[in-house]
Amino acid sequence: MSLELEHIWSRVQSQLAVVVDEPTYRIWLSELRAVELLGERLVVEAPAQTCRWIQGRFGRVLEASVELVLGPLASVELRPSGESPGAPSPAGTAARRAPRAAEERRGAPALREGPLGNPKLTFDQFVIGDSNRLAHAAALTVAEMPAQAYNPLFICGPPGVGKTHLLSSIANLLIAHDPTVSVRVTTGEAFTNEFLGALGERNTEPFKARFRDIDVLLVDDVQFLERKTRTEEEFFHTFNALHDGGRQVVLTSDRPPRDLQALEDRLRERFEAGLVADIRPPDLTTRLAILRKRAQHDRIERADEAALEAIAEHVESNVRTLEGALIRVVAFSSLTGRPLDAELAVEVLGNLYPRTPSPGASRRTIAEIQAATCRHFGLSTDELVSSGRSPRIAWPRQVAMYIARELTDASLPAIGREFGGRDHTTVLHACRRASERMSADSASRETVEKLFRDLGERRA
């Protein structure tokens, strides 16, 4: 499955998991597999023995889920596993013939495989924050000046934080700037499988040509090469052939090179010879920006700001999970006819993505947090929970709500009730304002960190 198809199918699966209950999804739908995207028609394989029943029982649900991901003109073709595809449509044939003709003219393809064609996977659609700023800047530089700045470029970070997006953005921009450039986008697993296939056929020369006679090599999840001795050796020689020939190499991994202990030292040394740029999970401000851009891109006009804030508050791990949570809330709103607001978001996501305390963190009561805040700012509790909006009171109240959100298990409505009967949207707004002010002002950040220390907590 290509990276683009994998991304699309992951979103469709998230949508399906919303519509049906977990046992039904596990028994009947978990075995479905997307195998091809032909224009706006998604081809999905199902087990041969149950394909007809799934079509009758879940066909409409599957179509609705695909339409939510790909748009209202999308369609689904459900086919039994192992069945050869039917004759392609004239449009599909023409679309595949053009790149092949271009390849014959140039002697090498502009792109043999990769996630092109998805408008999300571009630099314009990538949301920049403190957690990914260096990686974004380096990737953009490589796309604009391949093999002249950072070679190799090694982007590392946990799953779902945007590594594949940056890799795809590089490919998209390279082809846009120069359609004749030969780019290969692959994964560590695909490289391994192709190499083993070539070994099995005892004909590795075509394989070597595919990966060495190119201008740019982009490899996602290079950590897959660990503990594969023959493949590591082949990749070592491929890397050297490209790098020594002045061609660009970009790699992504879930860990920095120094932590890929199962790789040969000579490979790790080459990975570290260029620029290593890490991506961390996005902070609250970045998560909210990602949701806004996604809502705008998918034309989710009925989502109010408080709903996006609630989603950003609940999902902290990675971008992929964040987007999946948005899809779930939007789908629930669409299926039930309820407004897409913060109340719905909290209800839908509360049990699925419960907030967990930081490692080693102890629980505090809201009263303890209010007392510590009042001591620090010289306020009374009555002032803190009052309706006053002066800066002298508003900022301490936002700080107290932010800390209560971090150090207690209380729900948003419960926190609001302890602060003068405010609703959950006010709490969300206060937490967002506190986070933004901390990011922009070091003195404010130090104030909040001191309060955490006063409460016996250490912030990373």
304 close to 282: Cβ distance less than 8 angstroms: no
Distance of CA 13 to the CA centre of its chain: 15
What integer pLDDT is reported at residue 393 of this predicted model?
93
CB-based burial of residue 391 (10 Å sphere; 0-12 exposed, 13-18 middle, 19+ buried)? exposed
33-46 core/surface letters (b: 16 or more CB in 10 A; e: else): ebebbbeebbbbbb
**What's the rounded Cα separation, in Å, for the pair 22 and 241?**
49
Residues 73, 199, single domain; the answer is no
**What's the rounded Cα separation, in Å, for the pair 373 and 226?**
50
Q: Where does the pLDDT of residue 111 fall: very low under 50, low under 70, confident under 90, or very high at 90 and above? A: very low
Q: Where does the pLDDT of residue 399 fall: very low under 50, low under 70, confident under 90, or very high at 90 and above? A: very high
Q: Name the DSSP class of 31.
A: T
Averaged pLDDT for residues 33-38: 90
**What's the rounded Cα separation, in Å, for the pair 178 and 402?**
49
181 close to 247: Cβ distance less than 8 angstroms: no
What integer pLDDT is reported at residue 376 of this predicted model?
92
What integer pLDDT is reported at residue 101 of this predicted model?
31
What integer pLDDT is reported at residue 105 of this predicted model?
31
**What's the rounded Cα separation, in Å, for the pair 133 and 129?**
6
Residues 190, 272, single domain; the answer is yes
Q: Report yes or no on 355 lying in a domain.
A: no
Dihedral sign of CA atoms 137, 142, 143, 148 in order: positive
pLDDT at residue 2 greater than cutoff 80:
no
Residues 146, 264, single domain; the answer is yes
39: left (phi over 0), alpha (psi -120 to 50) or beta: left
Residues 137, 269, single domain; the answer is yes
SS3 276: strand
pLDDT at residue 178 greater than cutoff 90:
no
Dihedral sign of CA atoms 72, 26, 350, 131 in order: negative
Question: Which one has a higher pLDDT value, 298 or 263?
Answer: 263
The neighbouring-strand residues paired with 34 are 44
Averaged pLDDT for residues 257-273: 90
Last residue of one domain, picked from the residues 319, 349, 379: 349
* Least confident residue range of 28-37, 187-196, 298-307, 445-454: 298-307
Q: Report yes or no on 297 lying in a domain.
A: yes
pLDDT at residue 136 greater than cutoff 70:
yes
Residues 253, 216, single domain; the answer is yes
Residues 342, 370, single domain; the answer is no
Q: Report yes or no on 127 lying in a domain.
A: no
Averaged pLDDT for residues 241-245: 93
Q: Where does the pLDDT of residue 17 fall: very low under 50, low under 70, confident under 90, or very high at 90 and above? A: confident
pLDDT at residue 184 greater than cutoff 60:
yes
Residues 62, 43, single domain; the answer is yes
Neighbours of 349 (CB within 10 A): 20
The neighbouring-strand residues paired with 153 are 250, 275
Mean pLDDT of the chain: 82
Averaged pLDDT for residues 28-50: 88
Q: Report yes or no on 390 lying in a domain.
A: yes
Averaged pLDDT for residues 268-273: 92
φ, ψ of residue 291 in degrees (nearest 5): -65, -40
* Least confident residue range of 32-41, 67-76, 193-202, 220-229: 67-76
Q: Where does the pLDDT of residue 83 fall: very low under 50, low under 70, confident under 90, or very high at 90 and above? A: low
CATH assignment at residue 148: 3.40.50.300
Last residue of one domain, picked from the residues 247, 278, 309: 278
User: In terms of Cα–Cα distance, which of 424, 430, 421 is closest to 387?
Assistant: 421
Q: Report yes or no on 437 lying in a domain.
A: yes
Q: Give the strand pairing for 33-38 and 41-46.
A: antiparallel
What integer pLDDT is reported at residue 104 of this predicted model?
35
CATH assignment at residue 315: 1.10.8
pLDDT at residue 306 greater than cutoff 90:
no
Residues 271, 400, single domain; the answer is no
319 close to 131: Cβ distance less than 8 angstroms: no
CB-based burial of residue 179 (10 Å sphere; 0-12 exposed, 13-18 middle, 19+ buried)? exposed
Domain containing residue 218: 133-278
User: In terms of Cα–Cα distance, which of 401, 396, 367 is closest to 383?
Assistant: 396
Q: Report yes or no on 121 lying in a domain.
A: no
Last residue of one domain, picked from the residues 349, 376, 400: 349
Residues 304, 258, single domain; the answer is no
What integer pLDDT is reported at residue 106 of this predicted model?
37
What is the radius of gyration, based on Cα positions, of the chain? Answer: 25
Residues 140, 24, single domain; the answer is no
**What's the rounded Cα separation, in Å, for the pair 371 and 417?**
16
Q: What is the pLDDT of residues 329-385, one digit of tens each?
A: 888 888 788 888 888 888 888 767 665 544 444 567 899 999 999 999 999 999 999
Q: Report yes or no on 100 lying in a domain.
A: no
What integer pLDDT is reported at residue 356 of this predicted model?
53
Contacts of 326 by beta carbon, 8 Å cutoff, 6+ apart: 291, 294, 295, 300, 308, 311
Total domains in the fold of the chain = 4
User: In terms of Cα–Cα distance, which of 441, 440, 416 is closest to 428?
Assistant: 416
What integer pLDDT is reported at residue 342 of this predicted model?
85
Q: Where does the pLDDT of residue 90 fall: very low under 50, low under 70, confident under 90, or very high at 90 and above? A: very low
Q: Report yes or no on 226 lying in a domain.
A: yes
Q: What is the pLDDT of residues 408-447, one digit of tens each?
A: 877 778 888 899 988 887 888 888 888 888 888 888 888 9
What integer pLDDT is reported at residue 256 of this predicted model?
93
240: left (phi over 0), alpha (psi -120 to 50) or beta: alpha
What integer pLDDT is reported at residue 362 of this predicted model?
52
Question: Which one has a higher pLDDT value, 242 or 305?
Answer: 242
pLDDT at residue 16 greater than cutoff 50:
yes
pLDDT at residue 131 greater than cutoff 70:
yes
DSSP H/E element including 339: none
pTM: 0.58
**What's the rounded Cα separation, in Å, for the pair 234 and 438?**
48
pLDDT at residue 118 greater than cutoff 70:
no
Tokens of 32: 């479905």
Distances in whole angstroms, Cα of residue 216 to Cα of each of 142, 193, 363, 437 = 10, 20, 51, 42
Neighbours of 27 (CB within 10 A): 11
What integer pLDDT is reported at residue 172 of this predicted model?
87
Tokens of 437: 């002010």
CB-based burial of residue 235 (10 Å sphere; 0-12 exposed, 13-18 middle, 19+ buried)? buried
Q: Give the strand pairing for 183-187 and 216-220.
A: parallel
Residues 157, 223, single domain; the answer is yes
Neighbours of 269 (CB within 10 A): 11
pLDDT at residue 216 greater than cutoff 90:
yes
Distances in whole angstroms, Cα of residue 186 to Cα of each of 112, 129, 206 = 9, 27, 16
Block residue for tokens 């959100």: 405
What integer pLDDT is reported at residue 459 of this predicted model?
52
CATH assignment at residue 41: 3.30.300.180
Residues 192, 231, single domain; the answer is yes
* Least confident residue range of 116-130, 134-148, 207-221: 116-130
Averaged pLDDT for residues 138-163: 92
SS3 43: strand
